[in-house]
A and B are shown apart, each in its own frame.
Chain A
């Protein structure tokens, strides 16, 4: 029973990581850009949702606002800063997007202060549902799993079945050629960047309801999203999906089970310490193993 609940928690965590990693991997794959400020867009989405939901009383309006705000912030950042960095090396991209994090974080602190905001769930989404097998599970976590699955399906449809998807894939393969064929690359890149930002903003708004909304909330998630992208392989949406579920499950189950597992051989207090320390680094061990076996990630084509 506990195991089933933890497995669902892991699935929910994985779906949330997928929303983050999908945007990152799209931007890597299409533009070859490393964006450290992706976590700032996640934070933007969470703050937009919290503020609009508090002002209007509607969580759904807040959620829409998170998408709009993150996409707008993404587009703005792309036009003002990011597009000057495509031709630069990764070092410049890292430094510039690191600078953007400082600007976003301190700007948000200036606007909203250092205290966390809290998002209230609408009554229709709060409470628990009884799952087959007799498990009571929070409805909202199931909703997040649903959102993640829907976004995964939607992205798959977008990339494989639409004109925009064809252009995105063509942009990954050869950016000069699609430019020569008459595609407005600058606009395409802005759209892809804004799309990735919107996904991050959605993740931020959803997670903001479980935890709290505060400055700096995007940074731990960003690093986990990097781990996901490394495991899945850069540019692969499928890799991001499978990597995110792997990381979500490993982290959640590790934290739930490892202390007990060590309890079999060690005394209770040291089992807790060792178990908790090991659980906190488990996903990095997973990443190391994947790197040893496949340096380009599970589904990565290029390194």
Chain B
């Protein structure tokens, strides 16, 4: 067991090192596009790390995490567009001004995503199994239709903001500097996940996944623990959504769609469920596949589908599972 742990840790570190090395090498070679791809991988990896907290450690199969990704994105887009126009976002109950400071936007995005996760989680966690999957999916879809039918912030067309938000001391327009911001946040989220999953809370969460009744028998209320995990998970995904909006300087209902939920789930499963860096590896491989398969065929999603199918049917531990020769969930 001990040897396995170190092997997992080594692979985790190797994945992160590879991501950073790719970005730096691309930067030195002047390949701005490749730096942007690495940034996208880091952001999607962050979203996957967020979902993994609920899905991998908590066993909560949420098919609605695009809701939090999209909320993070919309908070960012709305604040940025109001800052550009110089108008307040809201005047009641108190005045909220727009902002183009990432340090101000991130907490707002995480707060909004967290509140949404609290509401959705409180309702969805009354159910379990297949119901939970469908209910989270349906609530995310509700926000999707809401975004489409609310013309004030672009409706179906989405919302563009032309200037990337700023971070003190950095030029966020330089691809490598924006990558650095995303990579550091990813590392922070990974550190946070590592600490949380080893805490009393994290152990209780994993106990509830493994055996609900025994958890109740030792005096832990799974509902509260799961709700907490769901909210934390939503907040991390909301932060990823904020970064993604800044990467593209654009948000649209597509960020809220169930395809997005499916993709975030794919990052997690492709890399390995319940493994610290699994989602990062999964997101990086997804981006790479998208790029490579997209170059081969216009119908690359069909190839991706077949590949996914093969992984689910024949390698249930995900790709890291193949490398470490161990099934899912330690």
Smallest CB-CB separation from A88: which chain B residue?
B316
- Complex contact B145–A281 (CB within 8 A): yes
- Complex contact B269–A281 (CB within 8 A): no
- Complex contact A95–B135 (CB within 8 A): no
* Chain B 267-310 per-residue mask, 1 if CB under 8 angstroms from chain A, else 0: 00100010000000000000000000000000111101111110
Smallest CB-CB separation from A282: which chain B residue?
B142
Interface residues of B in 149-186 (CB under 8 A from A): 149-152
- Complex contact A102–B304 (CB within 8 A): yes
- Complex contact B305–A284 (CB within 8 A): no
Cβ–Cβ < 8 Å partners of B313 in chain A:
81, 84, 96
At the interface, is chain A mostly helix, strand, loop or mixed?
A: helix
Contact A303/B131 with A110-B302, A295-B126 known, Cβ cut-off 8 Å = yes
- Complex contact A107–B131 (CB within 8 A): no
Cβ–Cβ < 8 Å partners of B150 in chain A:
273, 277
| In-complex Cβ contact of B137 among A100, A106, A226, A297 (8 A) | A226
B262 close to chain A: CB less than 8 A: yes
Report Cα–Cα, A273/B148, bound state, in Å: 11
- Complex contact A229–B134 (CB within 8 A): yes
| In-complex Cβ contact of A100 among B141, B305, B316 (8 A) | B305
| In-complex Cβ contact of A230 among B134, B145, B262, B299 (8 A) | B134
Report Cα–Cα, A273/B146, bound state, in Å: 11
* Chain A 86-109 per-residue mask, 1 if CB under 8 angstroms from chain B, else 0: 001011101110111111011101
- Complex contact B312–A284 (CB within 8 A): no
| In-complex Cβ contact of B138 among A28, A91, A106, A223 (8 A) | A223
Cβ–Cβ < 8 Å partners of A279 in chain B:
149
A234 close to chain B: CB less than 8 A: yes
Interface residues of A in 248-303 (CB under 8 A from B): 273, 276-277, 279-281, 284, 287-288, 291-292, 295-297, 303
B63 close to chain A: CB less than 8 A: yes
Report Cα–Cα, A208/B142, bound state, in Å: 24
Report Cα–Cα, A295/B129, bound state, in Å: 12
* Chain A 26-55 per-residue mask, 1 if CB under 8 angstroms from chain B, else 0: 001000101000000000000000000000
A172 close to chain B: CB less than 8 A: no
- Complex contact A94–B299 (CB within 8 A): no
Cβ–Cβ < 8 Å partners of A105 in chain B:
301-302
Contact A295/B127 with A81-B313, A92-B316, A230-B134 known, Cβ cut-off 8 Å = yes
Smallest CB-CB separation from B140: which chain A residue?
A223
- Complex contact B130–A280 (CB within 8 A): no
Cβ–Cβ < 8 Å partners of A296 in chain B:
127, 131
B20 close to chain A: CB less than 8 A: no
Report Cα–Cα, A95/B134, bound state, in Å: 14
- Complex contact A276–B149 (CB within 8 A): yes
| In-complex Cβ contact of A106 among B135, B142, B301 (8 A) | B301
- Complex contact A94–B123 (CB within 8 A): no
- Complex contact B138–A102 (CB within 8 A): no
- Complex contact A287–B138 (CB within 8 A): yes
Report Cα–Cα, A234/B132, bound state, in Å: 12
Cβ–Cβ < 8 Å partners of A95 in chain B:
265-266, 269, 308, 312
Report Cα–Cα, A281/B148, bound state, in Å: 11
A73 close to chain B: CB less than 8 A: no
- Complex contact B299–A280 (CB within 8 A): no
B128, B134, B141 — most chain A CB neighbours (10 Å): B134
Report Cα–Cα, A129/B146, bound state, in Å: 36
A227 close to chain B: CB less than 8 A: yes
Cβ–Cβ < 8 Å partners of B307 in chain A:
99
- Complex contact B123–A291 (CB within 8 A): yes
Smallest CB-CB separation from B125: which chain A residue?
A295
7 interchain residue pairs of minimum CB distance: A102-B305, A106-B302, A284-B142, A99-B308, A103-B305, A226-B134, A280-B145
Residues of B within 8 A of A (CB): 55, 61, 63, 123, 126-131, 133-135, 137-139, 141-142, 145-146, 148-152, 258, 262, 265-266, 269, 273, 299-302, 304-309, 312-313, 316
Knowing that A219-B258, A277-B146 touch, tell me 20 more A-B residue pairs with CB under 8 angstroms. Answer: A28-B130, A34-B130, A96-B309, A98-B308, A99-B312, A103-B302, A103-B306, A106-B301, A110-B302, A223-B141, A226-B134, A230-B131, A230-B135, A234-B130, A280-B145, A284-B138, A288-B139, A297-B131, A303-B128, A303-B129
